[in-house]
């Protein structure tokens, strides 16, 4: 069974149509990278998948949940789908440990002791065991983003969504985050990531999707897509190396 099925979704912000019929399937265990210029609709598509953006028509199914604007069903979906944001969005008034244990304890009723164990595990996974009691503001951007990934992992999701997670980072800090993501991919996690990191998409993603003007313009196995783009738009995009 595929982990994510997007079927012909249309999305408008007022009069502007940002998604003009997008369809995409992500198999379980697959890593799919979405690239494209800003304004191409790639982040909006990702946000539609966990219901942060409503869409006008089409259908999305993720981890066995259909995306509908019903709070209860959305919560059930979000327990199975992790999301990591560009601006980390850690809760500044909580320690790293509290950030990670909050949702498991509150939404999954995991006992305190087990939630803490789980938190230490995922924190070790992202290489930040020693930061359990630190507050987010004392961490670097790269560390904060790794904590955000750990926070999602503690929910034990079936699918992980990454929305330009290295775009807000200084160049020297992107590496540590990408390494964590690469390890996650090797571990068999189903991942859908919107990214500007071409090399990462090329080397880690099984499939790369190029979005342009609200449509999936071109997609295919990553290596193939990057070496022999079929459309001039993609060729242009790759050669310009633009954001």
Interface with another protein, residue 50, by CB under 8 A = yes
- Shortest distance, position 212 Cβ to another protein, whole Å: 26
Q: Where do we find the tokens 């992500």?
A: 26
Tokens encoding 216: 């999936």
- Closest approach, Cβ 172 to another protein, in A, equals 22
**Footprint (CB under 8 A) of another protein, residues 91-120:** 91-93, 102-103, 106-107
C-alpha neighbours within 13 Å on the C-beta side of residue 195? 27
* C-beta of 169 vs 225, nearer to another protein: 169
Residues making up the chain, counted from first to last: 243
Residues 169-198 contacting another protein, CB under 8 A? none
Helices 141-153, 96-107: inter-axial angle, 10-degree rounding: 20
Binding of residue 155 to another protein (CB under 8 A): yes
Instruction: Please pick, from the candidates 11, 37, 65, 78, the single residue that binds another protein as defined by CB under 8 A.
Output: 78
Among the listed ranges 14-22, 60-68, 85-93, 180-188, the one in contact with another protein (CB under 8 A) is 85-93
Strands (E), 85-165: 159-163
Q: How far apart are CA 11 and CA 214, in angstroms?
A: 9
Q: Is 13 in the site for another protein (CB under 8 A)?
A: no
Token reading at 59: 């259908």
Q: Are 83 and 50 in contact (CB under 8 A)?
A: yes
Q: Is 79 in the site for another protein (CB under 8 A)?
A: yes
The answer for residues whose C-beta is within 8 angstroms of residue 141's C-beta and 6 or more apart is 88, 168, 169, 170, 173
Q: Catalog residues that contact another protein under the rule CB under 8 A.
A: 50, 52, 71, 74-76, 78-79, 82-83, 85, 87, 89-93, 102-103, 106-107, 148, 151-152, 155
């Amino acid at each position: 069974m595929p982990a994510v099925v997007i079927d012909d979704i249309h999305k408008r912000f007022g009069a502007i149509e940002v998604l003009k019929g997008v369809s995409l399937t992500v198999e379980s265990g697959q890593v799919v990278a979405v690239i494209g210029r800003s304004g191409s609709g790639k982040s909006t598509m990702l946000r539609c998948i966990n219901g942060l953006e409503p869409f006008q028509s089409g259908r999305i199914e993720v981890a066995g949940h259909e995306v509908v604007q019903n709070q209860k069903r959305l919560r059930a979906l979000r327990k199975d789908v992790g999301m990591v944001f560009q601006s980390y969005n850690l809760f500044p008034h909580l320690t790293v440990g509290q950030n990670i244990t909050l949702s498991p304890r509150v939404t999954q009723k995991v006992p305190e002791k087990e939630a803490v164990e789980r938190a230490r595990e995922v924190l070790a996974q992202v290489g930040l065991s020693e930061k359990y009691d630190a507050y987010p503001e004392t961490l670097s951007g790269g560390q904060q983003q790794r904590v955000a990934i750990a926070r999602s992992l503690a929910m034990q999701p079936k699918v992980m969504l990454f929305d330009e997670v290295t775009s807000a980072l200084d160049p020297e800090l992107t590496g540590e985050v990408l390494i964590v993501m690469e390890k996650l991919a090797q571990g068999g996690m189903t991942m859908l990531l919107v990214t500007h990191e071409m090399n990462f998409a090329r080397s880690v993603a099984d499939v790369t999707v190029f979005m342009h003007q609200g449509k999936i313009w071109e997609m295919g196995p990553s290596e193939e897509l990057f070496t022999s783009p079929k459309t001039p738009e993609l060729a242009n995009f790759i050669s310009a190396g633009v954001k």
